[in-house]
Structure 1
Amino acid sequence: MSTELSQAATTESANSSIPSSRRKTSHLKDVPETLELRESLRARCDEVASKLDHRSPMTKDEMERVARRMIEEADLPEGYLGWLMVMLSSSFWKDALAAVPPERRLFLLPHCLKHAEGCPAEYDQFGMNCKECGACSIADFRGLAEEMGYRVLVAEGSPVVMKIIVGGYVDAVVGVACLNVLEKAIDKVLLAGIPCMAVPLLSSDCRNTKVDEAWVDQMIRTPYVPAAQATRSYVHLMRAAGDLFSNESLDRLAPRLRSQIPLGDDAVTLQSVGAMDAIAATEHIAYDFLARGGKHSRPFITLAAYDAMTGGLCTGPDADQAVAELPMSVRRAAISIETFHKASLVHDDIEDDDAYRYGQLAVHRRFGLPTAINVGDYLIGLGYRLLSRSDWGDTDAEKVKNGDASARADLVDALAAAHLRLSEGQGAELLWRDTRDRRLTPLDALKVYALKTSPAFEAALLCGIRLAGDAEPYREAIRTFSRNMGVAFQILNDLGDWIGDDSNKLSAGGDVFGGRPTLLWALALSALDEDGQQELLSLVEPDEIRDHMTEADRLAAVRRLYEKAKVFDTALALVDKHQARAEQVADELDVEELRRLFYFLVDTVLERPEMPTPAVVSLGVTVPLQTPVQR
């Protein structure tokens, strides 16, 4: 390896503030043709990775820069870039993964390794029941992994893996997948600081594919060796944010006064609450909704911001102990952030008449409109109550530091300001929806986005930093960062409406026909000629005014006009613009841990949408995952 490449590798983490060119790499997924070449490049990746700073996870951009230097040095085709990035990532995490006992590792296998023709395996609720016929290597790999104590999953994609990891079931992942899947996993899994190694499939055709079997065998057999240096990870804080909403945690931090029925066991229905005391029913519905669903990203941000300003112990080698010692006041503030968010969801579902939330009927669909309005109000009151309690600190020392009147007043002020701005943004959206004039400028759409989405990021960050000390020096940075993050996030959410959403939106175009002011709509109106504008406006006219068209026909027509106006490309360019501004704020922060958190939020929150693939993925678990392993 050249001296220049070695020096570049040792300083890569220090250069994280270099602006990214945001080049697309989705087409650069060629696999080196021969085993000899693959072996040579894998060895080179091991050499390069050994020179990197392992104290913090590498970002995808950092890996790309190193991989491109390797390509330039060896005069390799650019198409190898994606493959090299996966190999670099695996080499980077090799020692950290070895430090995780096999029983805390997850082995991820793709179903496409089986032979499609004549495969005798059947699928049930536990996945693929391999008949061990010898026609493929799935049974051998799975048998070896299970013998060593791994948990084994036959699935593809990172969301389910993240849920398993954040749920506390495993601490590391080894896997086999195509480069398309692995590229997505780099952003979602590796940035969180989760040790992960992978062997790419030799093709991505999803049928009868092959893999370097000796590499997979070697990866599974990675011996357990405690690490001399731990790479920082946000996983512990992610788990802590989710744990805040367990029955035990809520009973300790936000104790119920009227009902002690366990939360989340079964769906709460009108019939089930009808048997309760009428006053207790409101409390139970509200707490049950609070405990259900969501990524808990806002509580995570509050916990992580506090940790960043107090030394970053919760992401270091003794993270478990540091998380256990997070002050009660910080935990309560994090819960309060979520109560305001959940209240806004209840009210937002009413205003938009959305049918589902978290895979269940929305609160107003289950209990009626008046009850849902009241439950949302109850959650707002609960949020303020969590901040106003005089006993919100664990100790007298904590009460002096974090629980005094000044700190609590600042938190209430921050959340009240966020609440008002959110209501202003939602109000602007509702007023526009209820008018007959559907014209909208991109600037007006961006103003609504800044009001609706940014306040949540700002309040979550500000509360965490304020509980650690004086937040005033960071107030402007937080505001600018949050505004750009919120706008970029909302644009991506709009784009997600057009490619489907696995959480709440069931059909593309829901925002258009629901009468919501989106940037995509505004961009189309600004780019189309007068005839195109009139055609677009006519598609959202009431049924009695416009010509009869099916919703599918209307949707196709809107998409055609959007594509003609190039709104999707323009929207992604705006995301890049706001992301660059958010990164610039992070570059200028003087606290390393806070800067690292800002970068992490940029890379994980602003995930570019992917068009869905037609392939059906089967999911199976060979070891039950109902309860986390106790550590």
Structure 2
Amino acid sequence: MILKDNNPSGGLGNSLPQSPEKLKQIRDLICDYTAERELIPPLQEEEVIFHSGELIKKHPELFLYQKLLAVMINNHSWRDIVSGIPFNRRILLLPKCIAHATECPAQFDELGLLCEQCGKCDIAEITTQADELGYHTLVSEGTTTVSTLLGSGKVECVIGVGCLHSFEKSFPLAVKEAVPSMAIPLYNNDCKNSKVDKLWLDEILPIRKESNWYGWINIDSLRSDINSWFEKDQLALLIDGEDESSQIAIDWLAQGGKRWRPLIMLAVYKALMGSEAVMDDCIQKLAVSIECFHKASLVHDDIVDEDHERYDQPTLHRQYDTPVAINVGDLILGFGYQFIAESGAKHIRKLLKIASYGHRDLAIGQGEELLWRKNKALLSVEDILKIFSLKTSPAFEVALQFGAIISDAGDDVMQVLTTYSSALGIAYQIKDDLDDFNLENIDNAFNTIQPSLVTAIINREHPEKMKAWFKDFQNGNDFSKKEIWKQTEIREGIKEAEQMLENYKLKALSSIVELKSPSLKILLTRLLNKILN
């Protein structure tokens, strides 16, 4: 039975019990609830809401504490991972409002409050305890310093103290970055002479045990490793042909790009294998093979899109000519399949099947786009999304599934990655399409070379205006870009496309809810936001 609380702090659903005993009772209930369920972080907002609701069904008297329950449930999902992180890689973030409102002698610098250990509030006692354990401690309302420390790789976990309202605002950011974190709400929400439950804090700060958590996967470090594999001397060890076509292929593979696809493969492999991941010749050949498929498609795309530059240099068909470029693109595809066959990887048959299916689907999507250009008719929103799915999703799926296959992942993981990559690929293309609809790129928005989701949305609602705008652009009529860009119909089309982008991001995140590997779930959450940033 839950103790009655005669003085809850906050409004409906935003309350906090005013006694340590009552808080401890609720925490124990959460422990019992989560013990029956396997909650794998990071939890999405809808997951936290669902579990809070399930708990309230069992204990209706907890209705006043909806947001507190959400915080506690999220805490428990992260507890095992947080306890596996060394103290010197954790941040304790305290709010300034714990300081005495009128008698605090402390000064502030760019990092926050510089405690004078005057004893007029609990800050000195709390920070001393945290410092003795080895925490980085900040007394600050801002998250800039925390973000900097997280980005530096020096820390990978946040223990935050604050009001429920502040946690509600910061939760989406924590989910977006998949930061291992635990939160301890203040008793009061009025940002003055605030108090925290020391019993609760004393319970969380010292938690520590060995776990299978090997830390965040350092995306920048992985990218550096991968880039070294694409230096010309390294590629020459894989491509030993002395003919001119092979040399052109090496030069093209060595040129710039974000190398997202090999990076994704390697990150998934490390997430699933943990300390057993080995960066050997097999992994290198598979990573290079994935980039071969991508770079070959760029050669062909540049030709059909009539592009003149890539990586701030002339495209391959401009450097040489179209027949040479087509042949080099085909050659690079051949190298991709060769590297898979020569990798010595387990499950080569599976790898070749995934690669060939991805190649096939990309060609089908490109074919749909090329036939659209020939017909000159504006496509429907559904047709555009189908092309987006076929053209972009397979490349992400090949990378994700290569990483899973070489890690011996089961069919359940493979199915999740298929759904995730489909949503990610569509979201990626929608974002690319929206980039054309800013003021600087508005000329690109009305071209007849590439299908556009925004123009399809506008055409669905305003076909006559769409036809007139296309005609003006095609005839080279001189009119103000700003005036076109500010048209209500265009703004509405952009807004709907932006909402669709958010929907596909949510679809990608929803697809990973059932994953049992926290490392993989955290990685996929972070990758989604990095790729679509």
Q: Normalised by the size of structure 1, how large is the TM-score?
A: 0.57
How many equivalent residue pairs? 492
Residues 1:36 and 2:18 aligned together: yes
In the other structure, the counterpart of 1:57 is 40
Residues 1:444 and 2:383 aligned together: yes
Please give the secondary structure, in 2, of the residue aligned with 1:52: helix
Distance 2:122 2:484 in 1: 44
Deviation of the 1:598 alpha carbon:
9.0
Residues 1:453 and 2:392 aligned together: yes
In the other structure, the counterpart of 1:421 is 361
Distance 2:222 2:530 in 1: 29
Tell me if the contact between 1:244 and 1:331 (Cα under 8 Å) persists in the aligned partners.
no
Tell me if the contact between 1:96 and 1:227 (Cα under 8 Å) persists in the aligned partners.
no
Distance 1:202 1:494 in 2: 46
Among 277, 280, 283, which residue is 1:323 paired with? 277
In the other structure, the counterpart of 1:174 is 159
**CA shift digits 1:133-190 (9 cap, x unpaired):** 88999997889866754456886489958973xx854343323572354322453455
Please give the secondary structure, in 1, of the residue aligned with 2:234: coil
Residues 1:548 and 2:488 aligned together: no
**Cα 1:607/1:573, change in 2 over 3 Å:** same
Distance 1:536 1:201 in 2: 55
Distance 1:42 1:247 in 2: 48
Residues 1:525 and 2:479 aligned together: no
**CA shift digits 1:200-230 (9 cap, x unpaired):** 68999xxx956955359975995545427x3
Letter in 2 for 1:538: A
Distance 1:139 1:244 in 2: 39
Letter in 1 for 2:451: P
After TM superposition, the structure 1 = structure 2 runs for residues 28-177 of structure 1, keeping only pairs within 5 Å, are 32-33=14-15, 36=18, 40-41=22-23, 43-49=25-31, 51-53=33-35, 57-58=40-41, 59-60=43-44, 61-72=46-57, 73-75=59-61, 81-94=66-79, 96-107=81-92, 128-130=110-112, 132=114, 149-151=134-136, 156=143, 164=151, 169-175=154-160
Tell me if the contact between 1:203 and 1:209 (Cα under 8 Å) persists in the aligned partners.
yes
**Cα 1:109/1:462, change in 2 over 3 Å:** same
Unpaired runs of 5+ in structure 1?
3-27, 123-127, 260-278, 308-313, 356-362, 394-398, 613-631
Tell me if the contact between 1:426 and 1:452 (Cα under 8 Å) persists in the aligned partners.
yes
Deviation of the 1:436 alpha carbon:
8.8
In the other structure, the counterpart of 2:424 is 489
Tell me if the contact between 1:336 and 1:386 (Cα under 8 Å) persists in the aligned partners.
yes
Letter in 2 for 1:522: A
User: Max radius of gyration: which structure?
Assistant: 2
Among 443, 453, 466, which residue is 1:536 paired with? 466
Distance 2:317 2:112 in 1: 50
Distance 1:461 1:380 in 2: 19
Among 171, 174, 182, which residue is 1:183 paired with? 171
Residues 1:289 and 2:242 aligned together: no
**CA shift digits 1:18-69 (9 cap, x unpaired):** xxxxxxxxxx998735661798457513541355248662433443222113
**Cα 1:600/1:93, change in 2 over 3 Å:** closer
Tell me if the contact between 2:265 and 2:403 (Cα under 8 Å) persists in the aligned partners.
no
Deviation of the 1:536 alpha carbon:
3.5
In the other structure, the counterpart of 1:11 is none
Deviation of the 1:554 alpha carbon:
1.9
In the other structure, the counterpart of 1:256 is 234
Please give the secondary structure, in 1, of the residue aligned with 2:183: strand
Letter in 1 for 2:286: A
Residues 1:370 and 2:316 aligned together: yes
Tell me if the contact between 1:201 and 1:210 (Cα under 8 Å) persists in the aligned partners.
no
After TM superposition, the structure 1 = structure 2 runs for residues 611-622 of structure 1, keeping only pairs within 5 Å, are none
In the other structure, the counterpart of 2:289 is 336
Letter in 2 for 1:36: Q
**Cα 1:577/1:34, change in 2 over 3 Å:** closer
Q: Normalised by the size of structure 2, how large is the TM-score?
A: 0.65
After TM superposition, the structure 1 = structure 2 runs for residues 559-578 of structure 1, keeping only pairs within 5 Å, are 559-562=490-493
**Cα 1:512/1:235, change in 2 over 3 Å:** farther
Letter in 2 for 1:333: L
Tell me if the contact between 1:31 and 1:203 (Cα under 8 Å) persists in the aligned partners.
no
Deviation of the 1:448 alpha carbon:
0.4
Distance 2:262 2:129 in 1: 34
**Cα 1:439/1:281, change in 2 over 3 Å:** closer
**CA shift digits 1:370-389 (9 cap, x unpaired):** 39987988975664453243
In the other structure, the counterpart of 1:618 is none
Letter in 1 for 2:424: F
Tell me if the contact between 1:200 and 1:211 (Cα under 8 Å) persists in the aligned partners.
no
Please give the secondary structure, in 1, of the residue aligned with 2:160: strand
After TM superposition, the structure 1 = structure 2 runs for residues 383-422 of structure 1, keeping only pairs within 5 Å, are 383-384=336-337, 386-389=339-342, 392-393=343-344, 402=346, 407-408=347-348, 410-422=350-362
Deviation of the 1:455 alpha carbon:
1.3
Q: Which has the higher helix share?
A: 2
Letter in 2 for 1:525: N
Tell me if the contact between 1:157 and 1:185 (Cα under 8 Å) persists in the aligned partners.
no
